[in-house]
Amino acid sequence: MSGYVVQAGEVEARPESGTAQARVTIDRSSGCERLEQRVLRFGPGHSDPRATDDRQEILFVTNGRGVLHSAGAEHALEPDTGAFLVPGEEWAIENPGPDDLELVSVTAPCEGEERSKVTVRFADQPSLPATPNREFRLLVNEDLGCLDVTQFVGLIPPGRAPLHSHTYDEVVYVVEGEGVLHLAGEDTPLGPGSCIHLPPLQEHCLENTGPTPMRVLGVFHPSGSPASKATEQQD
């Protein structure tokens, strides 16, 4: 499989119990064997209880505010908040309204966890360098006790970096900005809500064609650094 890209808005929204609806954007049917990405939307009110079953679940708030009820406590949610849910955990969302609360969820097998914290805010994390002029902030990773999956937000300035690949399996969600995905000899337009699967060792490049930084949410397995590369073409 050479990769996959889809716009979340083009995926059927399936109502779930209570206030929730889900769009399954990336899963086994699109060639991603270990990770499953969904876009969840919660209307105003208190959602029905949900369960992680035998997988870990990594959340990221794209729009709205509310409360995550998990691990016997309440955790404030706002845009750019990440959350780490462990296998066998029951959770629910309380949305005071009037707007919907939207989350990007990624589930994965769990080979071990030592959770120390449920939520983390982008604003509280340090900025780290990737390639020249690119940076990222780690959200859910081993620092929170998530031992085999990494969640980060990357900032891509206008322009294009060289084609490169990673050793890990990754799903990406474009939070903000416009651009082009260069993948497997094809160029695909990107915008907010674009969902991407990048298999291990698949060369690719996310080009920012807009005037401001593009922000992307990445989740990959096994855990590591977004700055690490298996290959990179030279200019």
Q: DSSP class of residue 142?
A: G
Chain-wide mean pLDDT for the chain? 94
Tell me the fold of 122-232. Answer: Jelly Rolls (2.60.120)
Beta strands 20-26 and 14-15 are antiparallel
| pLDDT digits 0-9 by tens, 87-98 | 999 999 999 999
Residue 2 pLDDT level (bands cut at 50, 70, 90): confident
Q: Is pLDDT at 1 greater than 80 in this prediction?
A: no
Q: DSSP class of residue 115?
A: -
Q: What percent of the chain has pLDDT over 90?
A: 84
CA distances for 198 relative to 56, 114, 121, 189, angstroms: 20, 27, 25, 16
**Other C-beta atoms within 10 Å of 173: how many?**
24
| pLDDT digits 0-9 by tens, 148-164 | 999 999 999 999 888 88
- Domain coordinates of the chain in residue numbers? 11-111, 122-232
* pTM for this predicted structure: 0.96
| pLDDT digits 0-9 by tens, 113-154 | 999 999 999 999 999 987 767 899 999 999 999 999 999 999
Structure tokens at 89: 């955990």
| Same fold flag, 11-111 and 122-232 | yes
Which is higher by pLDDT, 92 or 112?
A: 92
The CATH class, in words, for 11-111 is mainly beta
| pLDDT digits 0-9 by tens, 97-110 | 999 999 999 999 99
- Measure the CA–CA gap between 62 and 217, rounded to whole angstroms: 10
| pLDDT digits 0-9 by tens, 20-30 | 999 999 999 99
| SS3 of residue 9 by DSSP | helix
The mean per-residue pLDDT over the stretch 72-99 comes to 97
| SS3 of residue 123 by DSSP | helix
Nearest to 62 by CA among 196, 192, 191: 192
- Measure the CA–CA gap between 45 and 55, rounded to whole angstroms: 26
